[in-house]
Amino acid sequence: MLRDTGREARRLAVGGDSMPERRICSFTHEEIDPGTGMMFIKRDGSVFWFKDSKARKNMLKLKRNPRRLKWTRRYEKGGIK
């Protein structure tokens, strides 16, 4: 399904949103500050947002589970069942 990007551009040009959209990191589940972070789009069309290169590398290259890493917000303290 294609979106009408012209309509979106006109809405923003007229003064639509005054606040930038807050995003959540797909790996650490932390909030990403406006103007920072990275967007990654897989070939199947799924979109991932990453707070920093550490999160991106751990998910995409090293294929780690965020629930097993203490520095993520998704960490499971009692262990993964």
pLDDT per position as a tens digit, 14-29: 555 577 788 999 999 9
**Res 45 pLDDT > 90:** yes
Mean pLDDT computed over 36-41: 96
CA distance readout (Å), 30 to 46, 73, 74 = 19, 7, 9
- Span 59-75, pLDDT tens digits: 999 999 999 999 999 99
User: What's the CATH superfamily of 22-76?
Assistant: Ribosomal protein L24 (2.30.170.20)
* Mean of per-residue pLDDT scores for the chain: 85
pLDDT band (50, 70, 90) for residue 40: very high
* Domain layout of the chain by residue ranges: 22-76
